[in-house]
Structure 1
């Protein structure tokens, strides 16, 4: 996982800027078991990362202000941004009084079911831990992130994991077998809250087998992984946005070994072994979907956090 220290203060020997890579995640399974008293759903998921990533630059500043800019006008550039909130909470928890300027170079589509905002926040926590020499462990950073968003603990560690609870209870898994991942996002975004609000847990007729998927990942069984893909939110989002279903059908028609909507959508991903087939899918999908990416499965954790 790429990390760089960009600039140093020669007088004080202090790092002035660091960069972190913020990879996208996909859900190999997503199951909502029941509605919890706190209003969240009890989840069981297998999540992994792909090699589509934002880059976060963190520049140390004198004073106490947190400022943020993004290459995308589709994300908030103030305290509504998860990366901004992560920096503010980290300062509150650690008593740091320094300021920071956050630059987000976006490549992950926005409101896409790929945890782009959560991954940006997680990268901000990791980067500020280095920039400010806080010495916090990955577990401590994940606990802080859990106060902001359910996907942030997974994104702090990255890699592959079974996630339960709201997504904060993690069981690490080895990386899935190498393959190509084709991602296609319709022009619209989707509100996660809207999708979960429409989910009727009692009416779910078919649930993914999270335990079997974890076993398939551990054994590196690509065919079994593609056969076990499942997401209980998929019918909900497809009912709201029929083009999500069209994308999935086209992926399978074009030869994908497996296809599934990620998270609450609307991005759909296809898994294929061969690069030639990934290119064929990209060419076929670009006819009716502008944001299409062919990337490699990543699935490895952030280096030496703990």
Structure 2
């Protein structure tokens, strides 16, 4: 017996850092949505109580370093499940890209095992569990468009943004999320118009969404990673309506309404980096 789940990538339409909390985490506020670039996970029921991770991608660990493994163990321990699972991960989202690939896999694992083990846990409860695995997992459990607050665990669902094409480009150079946050000077931030973004989404105002794309982490990542800035400029020159770095980077995305223009941007980027994708905005839940 097995079931499958899609684990879509996320992009940040806004990312704001408000202050540093007493627990040393940063208080964040961000509007996120999903795109049609997804990992696929298959869950096979095991009668013995083991958790196995299987993937052909050499960058995907098969032990507790894997967020899907952690999510499965958390669910198994918390609800005292005797059965086990073999999780096969078909990895399409680039690793360490700022697209929440690992978090989305963990969220898909919570949803998938909820079905496979017949636990019947409400989505809201799965999202709370997800916050124990990683900061983006709660959002990824809902698998739609949302405002995330706190460390990312407080989720307010939003309608899908206006439909458009998204061009994603991931440079080869990686970025450490921890070092980005450590380097952030909170008194120097130009904060995004989060309420304006939410209003534009509610009104299905594509230009309003484009005008309000903003990520405060760019102030740290771009000077340290010239390739990211280079890709941003190339996307703009090639006709993207709006361009932004997702998460702490290094992936950059551009929004366009015409597929022909998306293809033109894609072709212009092939010389800059190997990992370039043209996908549709999802923005609505693919949960079953």
Aligned residue in 1 for 2:238? 254
Work out the CA distance in 1 between the residues paired with 2:177 and 2:57. Answer: 20
CA-CA distance at 1:303 after TM superposition: 3.8
Residue in structure 2 matched with residue 24 of structure 1 by the alignment: 9
Q: Deviations over 1:229-264 (max 9, x none)?
A: 000001211122111001001000000000000000
Corresponding residue SS for 2:49: coil
Match of 2:31 in 1: 46
Answer yes or no: is the 8 Å Cα contact 2:107–2:137 preserved in 1.
yes
Match of residue 235 from structure 1: 219
- 8 A contact 2:143–2:287 mirrored in 1: no
The Cα of 1:119 is off from its aligned counterpart by: 0.1
Q: TM-score, normalised by structure 2?
A: 0.98
1:200 is aligned, of 185, 204, 208, to 185
How many pairs align? 288
The equivalent of 1:13 in structure 2 is none
Partner of 1:60: 45
Distance 1:303 1:79, change over 3 A: closer
The alignment's TM-score, normalised by the length of structure 1, stands at 0.93
User: After the TM superposition, which segments of 4 or more aligned residues of structure 1 sit over 4 Å from their partners?
Assistant: none
Deviations 1:47-89 (A, max 9, x none): 0000000001111112111110223111222111000000000
Asked if 2 retains the 8 angstrom alpha-carbon contact of 1:110 and 1:189, the reply is no
Correspondence for 1:85 among 60, 64, 70: 70
1:195 Cα deviation after fit:
1.1
Alignment of 1:121-200 (within 5 A): 121-200=106-185
CA RMSD of aligned residues (A): 0.9
- Structure 1 regions of 5+ residues with no counterpart? 1-15
Structure 2: how far apart are the matches of 1:119 and 1:71?
A: 18
Task: State the 1:26 CA deviation.
Answer: 0.2
Query: What's 1:220 paired with?
Result: 204
**TM superposition shift of 1:143:** 0.8
